[in-house]
Chain A
Amino acid sequence: MGPEKAIAEKQYFTPFNVVAGIIIFVGLIITILRFTKGIGAVTNLDNNNPWGLWIGFDLLCGVSLAAGGYMTSSACYIFGLKKYHSAVRPAILTAFLGYALVVFALNYDVGRPWKLPYPIFYSQGTSSLLFEVGLCVFLYLTVLFVETTPAAFEWLGFKRIRHWVVRLTLVLTIFGVVLSTLHQSSLGALFLIAPSKLHPLWYSGYLHVYFFISSMFAGLSMVIFEGTLAHKWLHHKMDDTHLAEANGVVLGFGKAASFIMMGYVGIKIIGIAVDNNWHYLTTGWGLWFLVELIGFVLFPAILYSVGSREKNTKLIRIAAIWTVLGIVLNRLNVSLIAFNWHLPSADRYFPSFMEFFITIFIITIGVVAYRFVVTRMPILYEHPEYKKDH
């Protein structure tokens, strides 16, 4: 009894748990501050800069990086690429957790979070793109939740209801792609209403198209990146099928991402040409724009293509991280850095320490939740009883 107990206690205090515990503890303290002292007490937001890190990163990056869910499930179930089957469940799970945390983070950012159901159920502002985003995120979160349940049902042994949910797979996948197309693009379209505030190099009539197309390679890259992390820490949870298919997923997704990114660079250049914004390229903002487009889209796209030609999965994994950083850079540029570019530097926004911390806190909750699910439910392996089910 004695030694066993000691072992059990020892397992609770792993470095991961201790660090995560501290972050969550501090996060909860800031949470109390936020809801007792107001948004102003914890953020650097002001009247000129109503949207900060929590929208620029938590919402915009969170949603685009969770695009792996619709990309993977549509590749497998709609385009019939069955060789990616083992990648579907982890991608759907991370997408679900990603969206759930986006909505969770919104509760910190909006003034009266208990009214968040209002736009959907009470007073619909249908002329607003934010309404479109809200409705789609709400519906898609529901879809992702349903898509995640089979794993939970297998874990709990609810055979019959699992069977019924699995039969909905195709409909849910199609619904998911429709909703993702809409809200991924609408997040970009949010900024269409403010041409006077966003720098012309980032403002474009195609902003919604850019956001949608970039969400595709964001999702693909995130699947590769998460796979890399999972292989490092959760290798023992993967079954032979998952391990055998993993390299194929990396190569296939890397190749697809490279293709889409090249196309994205093309339409970005078309955007500059359509608005005749060439002259901005020679300014400081132009340099920054080129850093983003060449340094964080074209360059990783080339890495991807070289990697998939030479079957170099290591190179592809590097490209994936690079691409993810590029997506973050793009979303922050549109929402924060190139937004309000005309304001004097004294009026510009930089996030407070507590804003950063809440963001880290929310990512930590996501990692903990992912670990909790993956170590219990059949995500990285197939449940032996349902192996021949697909």
Chain B
Amino acid sequence: MAISRRKFLGSLGATIGATTTGALTKAYGATNKHFKGYPEGFGVLHDTTKCIGCRKCEQACNEVNKLDKPERPFDDLKVMDQKRRTGEASYTVVNKFKGSGDVFAKKQCNHCQEPACASACFVKALKKDETGAVVYDESLCVGCRYCMVACPFNIPAYTYNDPLTPKVTKCTMCLPRILEGKLPGCVDICPREALIFGKRKDLVKLAWKKINKNPDHYIEHVYGEYEMGGTSWLYLSGIPFEQIDMREDLGVTPAPQFTSGALGTVPIIVGLWPVLLTGVYAISKRKEKIASQELEQAVKSTQALAENEMNDQLSKLKDKMTKEKETAIQNEVKKALQEAAKKAEEDAKAAQEAETGDDEAVEDTNAVDGTNAADDAVKEEE
């Protein structure tokens, strides 16, 4: 199948969009909105005080759903000596408990109002139907078994030994039969009215009517009315529910609410993390830039300072040198003048001496000297 890039991106976008909106829908879990279940949804009221443990319901279930026949026949009641749970070949089981005499209780999918399994399923293979049944679509199921982890009643089973088409198995509330206008197999066959089929809202009223009519006979509690947000199957018992293996510590919170908080943070993280991280990146980048700029600046100013200093020193040196030169020249000139003066003095002295002794001779010599010097000067100029 060829798939264009645009189409692929489109579907990916839809997926991401769906995550976001999905999470938002779940975020309603934190509001005061209360889902009370589908108003026309069906259910079954199981009056355990009426159950005689005949296992007829197990047999009917097996036949209606065309399951594998068990090793031991359904009329073998010794099977109930061991506590059993639902499995791939038994969507329902009846267990025997000790009360005042034997107490029996039937077990199957409770068809929660807001099912943990459906909320946990990542391919929407499990859905709450408007009829009240929690239905399973094998064609979508990947087989991750998260529904089994999620189910607080430990109901769904898996066909582990099927290599190619393993699937989740559980009670369907006989949805195909209901749609045909028939009763669920187990209800249909029950000889003692321990199972009553009807609309859930009517069954709740009926259950309380029974309790109120016979308060000594029943525990004052309709199991499933509120457990895990309510279930389509409801139970009455003569002994505490804990004693017939029905947990009383499940609370009344529908399973999807346990995860709505965590799911709600998903779109917020998608929105905020890139902003935060880009900000961190920008800050670290800017710090780096400022650091390098400051370094550059520091190098530059140090350089400039050094240059100035050098120039100063140079000019000072220059000044000093010029001054020294000048003084040297002046000194030389002074020296020369002094020498000249000295010489002149000496000459004058000598002349005086000569005047007193040999006047003429000295004068001649002087005259000759003078012309010679003059002649030399003229020659140099030429």
Does B258 lie at the interface of the complex (its beta carbon under 8 Å from any beta carbon of A)?
yes
Of A80, A181, A205, which contacts B273 at CB under 8 A? A181
Q: B142-150, B298-306, B354-362: which lies at the A interface? A: B142-150
- Tell me the dominant secondary structure on chain B's binding face: helix
| B165: interface (CB < 8 Å) | yes
A186, CB-defined interface residue at 8 Å: yes
The answer to the question of A132 belonging to the interface, with a C-beta cut-off of 8 Å to chain B, is yes
- Knowing A47-B86, A48-B85, A112-B141 touch, does A178 contact B269 (C-beta < 8 A)? yes
| Residues of B contacting A375 in the complex (Cβ-Cβ under 8 angstroms) | none
B262–A186 contact, CB under 8 A? yes
Is B255 in contact with A193, judged by CB distance below 8 angstroms?
Answer: yes
Question: Which residue of chain B has its CB nearest to the CB of A51?
Answer: B149
- The verdict on B288 contacting chain A, using a C-beta distance below 8 Å, is yes
* A21 at interface, CB cutoff 8 A: no
Binary B-proximity of A8-44 (CB < 8 A = 1, otherwise 0) = 0000000000000000000000000011111111010
Identify the closest chain A residue to B161 (Cβ). Answer: A40
Which one, B122, B143, B249, B281, contacts A78 given CB within 8 A? B281
Q: Which residues of A contact B280 (CB under 8 A)?
A: 78-79
Chain B residues whose C-beta falls within 8 Å of the C-beta of A46 in the assembled complex: 160
The answer to whether B274 touches A178, judged by C-beta atoms less than 8 angstroms apart, is: yes
**Given A124-B15, A127-B256, A197-B149, also A177-B277 (CB < 8 A):** yes
A291 to B39, CA, bound (A): 50
Which of B43-51, B151-159, B200-208 is found at the contact surface with chain A?
B151-159
Chain B residue numbers with a CB within 8 Å of A123 are 123-125, 140
* Given A120-B15, A177-B277, A189-B259, CB of A128 within 8 Å of CB of B121: yes
In contact, B21 and A112 (Cβ under 8 angstroms)? no
Given contacts A47-B86, A182-B270, A193-B259, contact A135 B19 (CB under 8 A): yes
Chain B CB within 8 A of A192 CB: yes
User: Is A115 part of the binding interface, using a Cβ–Cβ cutoff of 8 Å?
Assistant: yes
A192 touches B148 (CB 8 A): no
Say whether B157 contacts A182, CB under 8 Å. no
How many positions in chain A have a CB within 8 Å of any CB in the partner chain? 64
Please name all residues of chain A whose beta carbon is closer than 8 Å to the beta carbon of B16 when the two chains form the complex. Answer: 135
Contact B154 A126 (CB under 8 A): no
Max count, chain A CB within 10 A of own CB: residue among B141, B258, B274: B258
Residue of B nearest to A106 (CB): B144
Q: Is B87 an interface residue (CB 8 A)?
A: yes
Please indicate the chain A residues that have their CB under 8 angstroms from the CB of B261 in the complex. Answer: 192, 205
Contact of B85 with A47 in the complex, beta carbons under 8 Å: yes
Measured between C-beta atoms, what is the minimum distance from A262 to chain B in Å? 22
* B371 contacts chain A at the CB level, 8 A cutoff: no
Residues of B with C-beta under 8 A to A191? 149
Residues of A within 8 A of B101 (CB): none
| A43 touching B123, Cβ below 8 Å | no
Shortest distance between the CB of A90 and any CB in chain B (Å)? 22
CA distance A129 to B22 in the complex (A): 11
9 interchain pairs (CB within 8 A)?
A38-B161, A47-B86, A110-B143, A126-B18, A129-B263, A135-B15, A178-B277, A182-B266, A194-B149
Further contacts, 8 of them, CB under 8 A, given A34-B163, A111-B142: A38-B161, A124-B124, A170-B281, A177-B277, A186-B266, A193-B149, A194-B149, A194-B150
Task: Please name the 4 residue pairs, one residue from A and one from B, whose CB atoms are nearest each other, closest first.
Answer: A111-B143, A126-B22, A40-B160, A80-B284
